[in-house]
Amino acid sequence: MSIRSTFTAPKNFNTVALTLMAIGVLSITGLWVTSGSSTDPHEQARFWASLLQNSVYFLLVVNAAMFFMCITTLAWGGWQMSFRRVPEAISAVVPVIGVICAAILLAIVFGDNHTIYHWTDAEHVKHDAILSHKKGFLNKTFFAVVTILTVLLWSVLGWKMRQLSRSIDNEPLATMEERKKYIFTNTVWAALYLVVFALTVMSSLPWLWLMSIDAHWYSTMYSWYTFASTFVSGVALIALFVVFLKNNGYLEYTNDEHIHDLGKFMFAFSVFWTYLWFSQFMLIWYANIPEETIYFQPRAHGIYKGIFWMMFLINFIAPLLVLMRRSAKRNYGTITFMALVIIFGHWLDFYQMVFPAVSPDKVPNIIYDLGVALGFVGLIMYFTGRALAKAPLLARNHPFLKESLIHHT
């Protein structure tokens, strides 16, 4: 087989992506007919909550590819260079899902329905001591500004990182000085992105977007836990695309060693996620204060019990036991399977973050939400495929490329 340096989508790739998107649109329509168009605000909330959960989850997952790029750049990592165009391509989806997500969030906040975000109801907040104390943080203006600014900054910085990477494709860096300067520029932009990332995903954003659904309750670990959830799924997504490209005869310099390292990331961050998940749970369980335990009541003991414990099983026990062996992390089949399991597991995690507060009396029909999720998967496939085709798959002039070629674990 000849070496192919530019990606062209295989025959069925875009068909599958478009079919998935069609399923997504169909599910959204179905949801609209069954819940969204209803006059009951709780039914409407079920429709919007599904869009909220899916768009936020998949936005944070594709954004995790940005984090992966920037953190390895900042750490002067070289091992990922042979497949670095994959996270770059995934990061190109951030503006797309970002706009969708921002539109959905703003529609929820500025729509008149207060069932999802109770704090948007000004009349209610007046008589609610807790919510009126939180007014400085939980208000419509702040929410809108932060949401728009976040999506904007992620998109711009992502564009800058991709542009930096592609800028040397046809102009090799001749001298050591030039290479040093190039690495320094990359490091500065990566560091800038990480500051934004720390201020958004790692702190304020999950509080605003997700935790404020349970507006009275709070947990300082929540953002870290959300970050861990989406980062492990983001690495799983990168691994999926790398395996896909390998199977189609691309990425000739990416070998078992790189797959092994992605597997290690998936394993390690599954454990990290469990650590945060449990730390949040145990402190609340131990103190047993009613205003805190109210969060876990419907989840761990109520009607969401099944989803809650299933998500724990597939997010912790499965990666722990399956990915522990070295041979499992070097096997394309196992990595693909576990990546899918992890992405689904953390989607369930987000499901149990959002829905118990929105629909406390009955667990919604999850089929619709899975359909919406498939729509987002199609969106990610389509736009990542397009971004992959735009530039050569190997950043061939990057100073650290050799480190990746001789990478050995």
Partner 1 sequence: MAKKKFIVGNFTDEAVLFPAVKKVRHAGYKLHDVFTPFPIHGLDQEMGLRDTSLHTAGFIYGITGTSTAVGFITWALTIDWAINFGGKPYFSLPAWIPVIFELTVLFAAVGMVLTFCWLSELAPFVKKDHFSPRSTDDTFVMAIECTSATNEEEAVKFLQAAGATDVKVETKETGWWLGDYSNDKMRFA
CB of 285 to partner 1, least distance (A): 5
Spell out the long-range contacts of 138-147 with Cβ–Cβ below 8 A and sequence spacing 24 or more.
Answer: 138/208, 138/212, 138/215, 140/109, 140/110, 142/208, 143/105, 143/109, 143/208, 144/106, 144/109, 144/110, 146/200, 146/204, 146/205, 146/208, 147/102, 147/105, 147/106, 147/208, 147/209
CB of 288 to partner 1, least distance (A): 7
CB of 299 to partner 1, least distance (A): 14
Tokens of 153: 């900054």
Closer residue to partner 1 (CB): 188 or 324: 324
DSSP string, 61-108: HHHHHHHHHHHHHHTT--GGGGGTHHHHHHHTTHHHHHHHHHHHHHHH
Question: Do 315 and 342 contact (CB within 8 A), yes or no?
Answer: yes
CB of 67 to partner 1, least distance (A): 27
Closer residue to partner 1 (CB): 160 or 330: 330
Closer residue to partner 1 (CB): 11 or 286: 286
3 state SS of 302: coil
Question: Do 336 and 240 contact (CB within 8 A), yes or no?
Answer: yes
CB of 321 to partner 1, least distance (A): 10
C-alpha distances (whole Å) from 158 to each of 59, 78, 248, 327, 382 are 13, 19, 27, 34, 18
Closer residue to partner 1 (CB): 142 or 278: 278
Among positive and negative, which fits the CA dihedral 351, 244, 94, 154?
A: positive
CB of 282 to partner 1, least distance (A): 5
Closer residue to partner 1 (CB): 207 or 278: 278
CB of 197 to partner 1, least distance (A): 29
CB of 228 to partner 1, least distance (A): 17
Give contact residues for partner 1 (rule: CB under 8 A): 278, 281-282, 285-286, 288, 324, 326, 408
Based on its alpha-carbon atoms, the radius of gyration of the chain, rounded to whole angstroms, reads 22
Separation CA 185–CA 192 (nearest Å): 11
Separation CA 34–CA 43 (nearest Å): 8
Spatial CA neighbour of 391 closest among 293, 250, 212, 289: 250
Tokens of 100: 């969708």
DSSP string, 237-255: HHHHHHHHHHHTT--TT--
DSSP state of 408: -
Q: Please give the angle made by the CA atoms of 188, 194 and 197, to the nearest 5 degrees.
A: 150
CB of 179 to partner 1, least distance (A): 24
Provide CB contacts within 8 A for 256, sequence distance 6+. Answer: 330
Closer residue to partner 1 (CB): 75 or 282: 282
CB of 297 to partner 1, least distance (A): 15
Closer residue to partner 1 (CB): 76 or 285: 285
